[in-house]
Chain A
Amino acid sequence: MKPAAFAYAKAHSIEHAVELLGKHDGEARLLAGGQSLIASLNMRLASPPMLVDINDIAGLDRIDMTDGHVLIGAMARHADVERSSIIAKHAPLISRAMPHIAHAAIRNRGTIGGSLAYADPAAELPACMVALGAKLEIAGLQGRRVVAAEDFFKGMFETALGPNDMLVAVHVPAATAQTRVGFEELARRHGDYAIVGLAAAAQVAGAKLSDVRLVYFSVGDAPVRARGAESAIAAGDIDGAAAALSKDLLPTADLESSAEVKLHLAGVLLRRVVRQLQEARA
């Protein structure tokens, strides 16, 4: 395992990082936790001429409440997000998803920004962001902009980030007393990539659920919202929701599982997660 030769620069600010990216015609790559990037470099699946290390940018790892939103800096490590009381209280879906992300050693190093920018279709966090209606803050040569999670994930390893852009933070609407969340995934072994996973959020009013968001991962090129199932759940029709999945999802087979089994398992997760949504908030 050895990467092709590359240049290395350490950015001291967000602006500096973007400037460095701009100098390499979009060929440079940002180095955050390095949990996917370094492996793909070592396997020579990628050979960027330059790595821009953003690990030392002050404040890029902060986790805060601002303005009814939870702000999570791009360099926040999974392990810190996992242990954050702010996240546990105001973004409980993320807390639930965290233990499913790989293994402790990887979570110690991996970052939220890295996971979202990489956009692996089997990853947990992109689905969570879509389910929570999060906004992603991007710094580019033309300044800052904000993109809704749903518009951010474009396809397999494809996002709204341009070649000279850097994801700097996510803003997650804080949970209210009416917010309900659910998370489940099936994997061969704990910590493996999901065979199928589901992240969900909804608002509760009396016995009814509204604003239901059911976001599947590991069933397509990007997180997939099951819109037909969402409407059916809002109408209180769980069987209808399960039936709607065959139109909502078009899973593709992988080494372990056929499309048929993935679709079936998506239905199993639907029932489990809807039960979680219906449970009173702890």
Chain B
Amino acid sequence: MGEYGIGQSVPREEDPYLLRGQGRYVDDVTIPGQLRGWVLRSPHGHAAIRSIDIGAAKDMPGVQLILTGKDEAITSLGTQRPMMPRKKKDGSPATGTPHYALARERVRFVGDMVAFVVADTLNEAKDAAEAIAIDYEVLDAVVGVEDALKPEAPTLWPEYPGNAAFVGQSGDKATTDAAFARAAHVAKHRMVINRITTNTMEPRGCIAEYDPRDERTTLRCTVQGPHTIRRFLASEVLKVPENQIRVISENVGGGFGMKGGLYNEYILCVAAARVLRRPVKWIGERSESLLSDEQCRDNVTEAELALDKDGKLLGLRVKTLVNIGAYYASDRPGGPALVNIGVLAGTYVLPAAFADVVTVFTNTMMTGPYRGAGRPEAAYVIETMIDVAAHDLGIDPAELRRRNTIPAAAMPYKTALVYTYDCGDFPRNLEDALVKSDYKGFDKRAKESRRNGKIRGIGISNTVEASNVGLIEHAELRFDPGGSLTVLVGAHDHGQGHQTAFRQIVSEKLGIDPKKINVKWGDTDQIAFGTGTFGSRSMVACGTAITLAAKKIVDKGTRIAAHLMEAGEHDIEFREGKFLVAGTDKSVDMAQIARDSFAPAKIPKGMEPGMVENGTFDGGQRTFPNGCHISEVEIDETTGMVELVRYTAVDDVGHMINPLLVEGQLHGGIAMGVGQALIENIVYDESGQLLSGSFMDYAMPRADDFCAFNLGENEVPTKTNPLGVKGAGESGCVGALPSVMNAVNDAMARIGAPYVHMPATPEKVWKALSEATKR
């Protein structure tokens, strides 16, 4: 409706308060009587704990409580466990490994938690932590995914000999092997996707508070799905009814998947608050974020692509080893490794495919979902294989894609792996992006670069990803008797601008003055239930829930309007916020109807007063955002420095509720993909020490590391939800990772240099360049 309707580029209404420091993050909240918690972490990658002596520490000034793994407050807690059924290599069930809130006999990565100190002030807690004496017996550690599978590697868990955690397969092996048997050409390649970490602007943190009046615990924390956290905390850890827990998550400074889980630090605060009967706050420092936030990616893939003599794809075979870190204590590592494996099928007519995944324990922090959560990894594999095959066969990579892309007319298209794509125009994405990026002019630009001592490369990715994993979502539209509206949503906002977008949907559907709409999220006591924000699901799932609730509001409003205007219900039309009697000039607006709904005298006999409606979406089906990304890099041949010089993308995220927000999501996603491709890297040494443990050593990309992004769109609304949206949060990252790596390696291939794995640091690139000179 008007400038606040669906499809308008409404500026983020969150920005004015967030940019002025007026948001309310967890560390902005102080509760009277609050104590501070500090976690003592393992300095060793792998060690047995011989003894812990808290004697000196417990009497230090301000200390209220010191917890270690053998204290009853910790041993009485339940632990989380994986819910999705998974299998070990031998076929037996992989039931997971416990990750106690504090380590008991053994620590398995640097940063593993050993003691929790609660004191009046943070500094007192830190001083006391330093006085805790722990006797460790240091054990051999292993950090690399391939190293961990070697026979001489130390075993992290006796019940998982050889360090393989769980395995998964997808596709049909026999059909795929048959396709390879008749192939004219098989392209083979090994790919390494390095480990990185999220580095949200706001570190993780929480405050736990116990209220003896009704034995309830309130946990304020940095999470993407408060209700999900409440369920885990109630059912797995505390074993209490869910209604005894309240989880609040107001403004959160970035999640990207990493803030999806119930971290042990939060559990420690809850345990301490219940012992002490006082609120306990823990706020992670940046050095703790780098150690103990779930890390991401980290896998090695061997892939083969079979083609016929005309360059048509016949089959894909993939073997992937995924480093999940030291514990398999929840479903978090399973997401990236297996849940999105179907994305391997890409945008191509690929008759057969088979993927084999083995996850592996190492003495490192756990890996979990990170923007794309398996989709950028899968897209990288298929898009790299297309380029490798194109290079092998001497076919232009754009042309090889053109020959094999699924035509729009073939929709719905059932892939050889998991998904059936409902809609999308993949060939048009490709052709539009080729034009927009001036693909034809590349050779001219490459020659110009050459004159300046630079090698230019161009990389295409034409990807599809699977969003909205199909979990339920809830929204409530709650008019008050004064006629203003509160919208309560089970989705979350940690920087996306959902408040703006949800207001647009409500404004459009109900014609309410946007100023009279209040959007609430992030409090399990206020919002009946919900799932949260991840996997590009919020517009699909929560937008639909809002739409369902709005329809009920209009239906009820119609009955009241008919009653008030003495017309038949079928004669009432609802348009732009007004109930009209067809063929007359009689009308009454939504806000008035809402006010009247609270007056029993004004509503039809037998109708319940009030105007409060719920919408719950069953989650619906997977959506398939897709797009073509084309990168150009220039490589300084004397230093190996890589510069991103051109970036073009044409994306289809379905119907755009707010194109400005979509563009922002794409920018952010692209930046995260480029960051991994070029500079970000988590490095552990052999003993499991984190070498990239500060921002001096972990390189986050900055604005001057990017060129301008030239974005276009190709909206193909999906029919699988009433808004036609597909989700926009992750496609930038999915497209960027393969496209930048293809550009770097296109440059390498042009001068006969070997393949460079991510991140394409000057060191690696220069070494590859010198290989080419030697050849």
Which A residues have a C-beta under 8 Å from some C-beta of B? 1-2, 43, 186, 188-190, 192-193, 195, 255-258, 261, 264-265, 268
Contacts and interface: CB of A to CB of B under 8 A. Distances in A.
Given A2-B126, A257-B763, A189 B287 contact: no
B130 to A, nearest CB: 8
B691 interface: yes
A43 B287 CA distance: 10
Interface string B191-203: 0000000000000
B704 interface: yes
A268 B683 CA distance: 28
Given A189-B699, A256-B761, A268-B639, A261 B683 contact: no
Contacts of B770: 264
Given A188-B761, A265-B639, A1 B287 contact: yes
Contacts of A188: 679, 699, 761-762
Contact of B683 (A2, A186, A255): A255
A186 B641 contact: yes
A186 B699 contact: no
B122 A2 contact: yes
Contacts of B450: none
Contacts of A255: 683, 691-692, 697
A197 B285 CA distance: 32
5 contacts: A2-B126, A188-B699, A189-B704, A189-B705, A268-B638
Contacts, number: 46
B123 interface: yes
B639 A186 contact: yes
A202 B641 CA distance: 29
B767 A261 contact: yes
Interface string B677-701: 0010001000000011000110101
B354 interface: no
Nearest to B126: A2
Contacts of A43: 287
Contacts of B679: 188-189
Contact of B696 (A186, A193, A264): A193
Contact of B699 (A2, A192, A261): A192
Nearest to A264: B766
A198 B704 CA distance: 23
Contacts of A257: 762-763
B702 interface: yes
Contacts of B126: 2
Chain A CB within 10 Å, residue with most, of B123, B697, B701: B697
Q: Ordered nearest first, which 5 A-B pairs have the shortest CB separation?
A: A268-B638, A257-B763, A261-B763, A2-B126, A2-B123
A158 B432 CA distance: 60
Interface string B263-302: 0000000000000000000000101000000000000000
Interface of B: 122-123, 126, 285, 287, 638-641, 679, 683, 691-692, 696-697, 699, 701-702, 704-705, 761-763, 766-767, 770
Nearest to A192: B699
A218 B594 CA distance: 71
A37 B285 CA distance: 19
A265 B770 CA distance: 13
B285 A195 contact: no
A195 B766 CA distance: 13
Given A2-B126, A186-B641, A256 B705 contact: no
B704 A190 contact: yes
A255 B639 CA distance: 17
A154 B763 CA distance: 29
A264 B640 CA distance: 11
Majority secondary structure, B binding face: loop
Contact of B285 (A1, A189, A258): A1
B763 A256 contact: yes
Contacts of B123: 2
Nearest to A272: B638
A186 B762 contact: yes
Given A188-B699, A189-B702, A193-B696, A258 B287 contact: no
Given A195-B762, A256-B763, 20 more contacts: A2-B122, A2-B123, A43-B287, A188-B679, A188-B699, A188-B762, A189-B679, A189-B701, A189-B705, A190-B702, A190-B704, A192-B699, A255-B697, A258-B763, A261-B762, A261-B766, A261-B767, A264-B770, A265-B766, A268-B638
A258 B766 CA distance: 11
Contacts of A2: 122-123, 126
B332 to A, nearest CB: 28
Nearest to A260: B767
A43 B770 CA distance: 40
A193 to B, nearest CB: 7
A268 B641 CA distance: 12
A193 B763 CA distance: 15
B505 to A, nearest CB: 40
A43 B285 CA distance: 12
A97 B683 CA distance: 30
A93 B535 CA distance: 52
Nearest to A103: B702
Contacts of B762: 186, 188, 195, 257, 261, 265
A272 B53 CA distance: 59
Contacts of B641: 186
A186 B705 CA distance: 14
B618 to A, nearest CB: 46
Nearest to A190: B704
Nearest to A254: B697
A165 B641 CA distance: 42
A46 to B, nearest CB: 15
B124 to A, nearest CB: 10
Contacts of B699: 188-189, 192
Nearest to A271: B638
A261 B766 CA distance: 8
A193 B699 CA distance: 11
A1 B692 CA distance: 17
Nearest to A188: B699
Contacts of A265: 639, 762, 766
A188 B678 CA distance: 10
A93 to B, nearest CB: 22
Contacts of A193: 696
Contacts of B285: 1
Nearest to B705: A189
A250 B705 CA distance: 31
A268 B769 CA distance: 14
B317 to A, nearest CB: 35
A195 B697 CA distance: 12
B246 to A, nearest CB: 31
Nearest to B122: A2
Contacts of B701: 189
B236 to A, nearest CB: 33
A268 B638 CA distance: 6
Contacts of A186: 639, 641, 762
A222 to B, nearest CB: 20
B695 to A, nearest CB: 10
A195 B762 CA distance: 10
Contacts of A189: 679, 699, 701-702, 704-705
Nearest to B285: A1
Contacts of B638: 268
A1 B763 CA distance: 32
Nearest to A44: B130
Nearest to B769: A264
A170 B692 CA distance: 35
A270 B770 CA distance: 19
Nearest to B698: A255
A43 B761 CA distance: 28
A73 B702 CA distance: 34
A256 B760 CA distance: 11
B688 to A, nearest CB: 16
Nearest to A191: B702
Contacts of B761: 188, 256
Nearest to B701: A189
Contacts of B763: 256-258, 261
